[in-house]
Amino acid sequence: MTRLTLSALLLATAAPAFAEGELNLYSSRHYDTDERLYSDFEEMTGITINRIEGNADELIARMQAEGRNSPADILLTVDTSRLERAKDTGILQAVDSNILEDRIPANLQDSDNQWFGFSQRARVIFFDKADVSNPPSTYLDLADPAYEGMICIRSSTNTYNQTLLASIIENHGEDVARMWAEGVVANMARAPQGGDTDQLRGIVSGECDISVSNTYYFARAIRTDVDGLSDSIDMIGLQWPSQGAEGAHMNLSGGGVAAYAPNRDNAVAFLEYLASDQAQQYFSAGNDEYPAVAGVTLSDEVASLGEFQADDVDLSAVAKQLPLALTIFNDVGWE
């Protein structure tokens, strides 16, 4: 497999090959376990994957700049907000695939079939079992003054939080979403800082009693040794939010076919492979995510988190609320 970083690509003088048996993959997924996904696809199809890695914004900007000359066949990235951003910039194209339509639930794909979700992460509430006897049971409860000074949560620039707020707008309306954002800011234990794992570490350190994080960071700390977290994992409780209401918010990792894909058939075949049971199991076993396809077996660590009701809101509709979500974050002073 040919593997290039984005910086290496920028320095490259030779154009990538457009051979029939190749696939040029632009990916912002940075998980070592994805190697199995790629190698198995190569072995099954004989198609060689040329991979270019970078953060999502860099890759999207790169594809825009390359235009019709782009070698990209596939863009893979995380979170609905980035998938929608890629669509809005015109770097993706619609895909007509019966396999994808049958396998990927309608609420986990773009209404115009330009992007598809292949794995999910639940964004949930964690709490200190010793200090919090009545944790927030819904997302809206996070704004309750009873939790003043108790909450650790990431910044407004974080895509996971942007999509969470967009889902609150879609589910409850702008006024409720604005009051929620104001209330969460008032309840923060500290200024937003760090990633999702740092929000969980905040509970361990005593900086906060409640945090918001994606489930796969917690499951990873169960499965492997995560510094500053795994040794104290038993002190942290998990609250599935909004059960009996909209359900737990799910964000995506997904992808789409590039607008000017030189190897379009290979690209569609790759997306269809990502929807297979085999690939779907890798997402759970390898990176502690939830499969997009119903009925696929979960890893032991993910299954140990328990059953829950997921929000089945149409994420394509949620994506349309992202500009308003950013405005609200700015208006309420969420750093």
To 5 degrees, how large is the angle CA 103–CA 107–CA 108?
Answer: 60
Distance CA 105, CA 122 (A): 16
pLDDT tens-place string over residues 267-283: 999 999 999 999 999 98
Angle CA 144–320–270, to nearest 5: 115
Collapsing DSSP to helix, strand or coil, 19 comes out as coil
Please name the residues in contact with 96: beta carbons below 8 A apart, sequence gap of 6 or more. Answer: 113
Compute the radius of gyration of the chain from its Cα atoms. 20
Percent with pLDDT over 70 in the chain: 94
20 — pLDDT class (breaks 50, 70, 90): low
Q: Is 84 left (phi over 0), alpha (psi -120 to 50) or beta?
A: alpha
Q: 3-state secondary structure string, 207-264?
A: CCCEEEEEHHHHHHHHHCCCCCCHHHHHHEEEECCCCCCCCEEEEEEEEEEECCCCCH
d(CA 218, CA 32): 18
Per-residue confidence (pLDDT) for residue 73, from 0 to 100: 98
Q: For residue 80, which of 46, 42, 119, 50 has the smallest C-alpha distance?
A: 119
Task: Give the mean pLDDT of 161-171.
Answer: 98
Evaluate if residue 93 carries a pLDDT over 50.
yes
> Do residues 255 and 63 lie in contact, with contact meaning Cβ atoms separated by under 8 Å?
no
Say what the pLDDT of residue 15 is. 40
Mean pLDDT score of the chain: 93
Residue 17 carries which DSSP code?
P
Q: What percent of the chain has pLDDT over 90?
A: 89
How buried is 32 (Cβ within 10 angstroms: 0-12 exposed, 13-18 middle, 19+ buried)? exposed
Q: What sign results for the dihedral spanned by CA atoms 22, 6, 216, 110? A: negative
- For residues 296-316, average pLDDT: 95
Is the distance from CB of 213 to CB of 202 less than 8 angstroms?
no
Sequence-separated (6 or more) residues with CB below 8 Å from residue 219: 288, 299, 301, 302, 304, 305
For residue 74, CA distances in Å to 10, 113, 209 come to 18, 14, 41
**Tokens encoding 90:** 């015109």
pLDDT at 240: 98
Q: What does the pLDDT read at residue 34?
A: 84
| pTM of the full structure | 0.90
pLDDT in tens, 27-44: 998 777 788 899 999 999
DSSP assigned state of 142: G
CA count, 13 A, side-chain hemisphere, 282: 18
Distance CA 285, CA 280 (A): 9
pLDDT tens digit sequence for 169-227? 999 999 999 999 999 999 999 999 999 999 999 999 999 999 999 999 999 999 999 99
Tell whether the model's pLDDT for residue 16 goes beyond 60: no
Set out the domains of the chain in order of their start, with CATH numbers. 2-120+250-305 (3.40.190.10), 122-248+317-332 (3.40.190.10)
Tokens matching residue 123: 């964004």
> If 0-12 CB within 10 Å is exposed, 13-18 middle and 19+ buried, where does residue 4 land?
middle
DSSP 153: -
Mean pLDDT throughout 87-105?
97
